[in-house]
Structure 1
Amino acid sequence: MDDNSRPGTTARRRVVEVVDGAALSRPDSVVTEEPLEIRLGWPGQPASRVAVTMRTPGADFELAAGFLLSEGVLAVGDLPRTVAYCRDRALRQEQLYNVVTVELDAPPRRNPAVRSTPISSACGVCGTQSLDEVFTPCEDALGVEGVVDAGVVSRLPDELMRHQRLFARTGALHAAGVFDLAGGLVVAREDIGRHNAVDKVLGARQLRQTTYEDDSILCVSGRIGFDIIAKATAGRLAMVVAVGGPSSLALELADRAGITVCGFTRGSRYVVYTHPERITGV
């Protein structure tokens, strides 16, 4: 494939900035948003489309693997046989890096729901309608295997921000990072879609590009919706920390899954909504 057809993470364009009534024309960077089609196949089943998501190009294989983990198609630690960009001759030049095919060695643990409409960069669950579809009975709630110091939690959003290279250039991306209980960053990813950023950090472990334990912390740059907790549940992550607040359904799932949720984490303040026993002094 010709690398010249690979979409970049940002694009340049001229803008007009108005400050105190004065207009200034200047070049600026905007974040790239492109569709990614995810195809899935296994022995006896040719690869077919299971989703189309709008994303920021980069870490596409991790995004595909993390998405399939979040959907229950893969279990934690399941390594796909292959993950590759599609070489379908019918694809146009600009589509070459916008289709990823995941091939499994065996049938998936759950048949993926085929999405007939694109997933926008703002949505997450997209059709998962109940807690029971996310919290599978074959997985127990997460127990408290480790605790985190109260001061560590408040530092995580700022630490994540220091690794948001594209956000610093464009101001238009979400981020997700996985931290250990001492506050050390294990992996961070950015994307125009907050759920895509989470799928990317999940996929990094799924494809064995990094490793982290269940008693790890997921930190996200936005609010804590049901979709974020659903992905943390699928990834078996013990804590979710965010600068925004959670929804009621997100907290109901976190209660069931044994996940500690901390919202409005800004400066020295944050609010613990579920399972405070994981945080010392709370």
Structure 2
Amino acid sequence: MPVTTTRRAIVRVVTGAEPARTPDDLAVESPLVLGLAGEAIATLMRTPGHDLELTAGWLVVESGVRRADDVVQLRQCREDDTDRVHITLAAGVREPRPRAFVTSAACGVCSADVLDLSLLADGPPHTPGFTVPRDVLAGLPDVMRLQQKAFDRTGAVHAAVLAGADGTLGPVREDVGRHNAVDKVVGHALLAGALPATDRLLVVSGRVSFEIVQKAVAAGVAGIVAVSAPSSLAVDLAREHGLLLAGMVRRGRMNVYAGEDLLAS
């Protein structure tokens, strides 16, 4: 299901013209409650669409799931006028730590009481011999942009996608939250049996924070490509785990913050 948009009446103001009332497309932001064993464990503010993938991707970091069969069932429903996904995990899979309050669309780790990196320690390295040509990497954000349908309508959503070293893109996912878009992409790969994605690059439409690198490491991707810059902690984590990290990838230019040895001419 594509992400959800809605319409609201606005007043459009253009210099030299009279203000005009007109409908405008907006990205929907609404809560998704995740439940486990009959208890709510998290409330995510997200754009509705691909909610099962979002939940699966969220579990990759929060529970350390690595295979589709780590998740017995994801059941989506509507209860008490709220969208919900009920989770059943396989025996032996660590249950996610309940979040203390609502996780906003701007933050993926805000409501966690600690930053738990223990599940990242055994993350796989990139595929041996993996490299990506510079010109292919430089063009990935523009290729992804062509598939950002919700952004075209609203201008208010982020996007993410997994891409091969030849520039081939997987499914593009969009959401008001950067981390949600990444979770949807990672969740799609998990449910398709495509993790770890050691021969794939994670392409994102915004900046790269610690949480984005954390999700990339958990998914086992070879690197991250972003149109904006990373934070210092994001660079440190990418270097620690051997990821390629390219930011400010625009109009044929880029900054490579980590993993420059994975670039080919």
TM-score (norm 2): 0.92
Mapped partners of 2:62, 2:127: distance in 1: 22
Q: CA deviation at 1:77?
A: 4.4
2:165 paired with 1:174: no
Counterpart residue type for residue 48 of structure 1 = E
Out of 82, 97, 100, which is 2:85 matched to? 100
2:39 paired with 1:55: no
Mapped partners of 1:114, 1:194: distance in 2: 21
Mapped partners of 2:197, 2:120: distance in 1: 20
Out of 194, 214, 219, which is 1:235 matched to? 219
Q: What is residue 198 of structure 2 aligned with on the other side?
A: 214
Residue pair 1:145, 1:215 contacting (<8 A) in 2 also: no
Q: CA deviation at 1:78?
A: 4.0
Mapped partners of 1:241, 1:48: distance in 2: 37
Counterpart residue type for residue 16 of structure 1 = V
Query: What 5-or-longer segments of structure 2 have no aligned partner?
Result: none
Out of 145, 155, 175, which is 1:161 matched to? 145
Out of 90, 101, 105, which is 1:117 matched to? 101
2:223 paired with 1:223: no
User: Greater shift after overlay, 139-148 or 172-181?
Assistant: 139-148
Q: What is residue 65 of structure 2 aligned with on the other side?
A: 74
Counterpart residue type for residue 28 of structure 1 = D
| Change in 2 beyond 3 A, CA 1:152/1:8 | closer
Q: CA deviation at 1:124?
A: 1.6
Q: What is residue 7 of structure 2 aligned with on the other side?
A: 12
Q: What is residue 3 of structure 1 aligned with on the other side?
A: none
The aligned length equals 263
Residue pair 2:196, 2:220 contacting (<8 A) in 1 also: no
Which aligned runs of 4 or more in structure 1 are off by greater than 6 angstroms?
Answer: 209-212
Percentage of pairs with the same residue = 39
- Aligned-CA RMSD value: 2.2
Mapped partners of 1:57, 1:137: distance in 2: 32
Counterpart residue type for residue 76 of structure 2 = Y
Q: CA deviation at 1:152?
A: 0.4
2:31 paired with 1:35: yes
2:48 is paired with a residue of what secondary structure? coil
Q: What is residue 146 of structure 1 aligned with on the other side?
A: 130
Q: What is residue 269 of structure 1 aligned with on the other side?
A: 253
Query: What 5-or-longer segments of structure 1 have no aligned partner?
Result: 1-5, 41-45
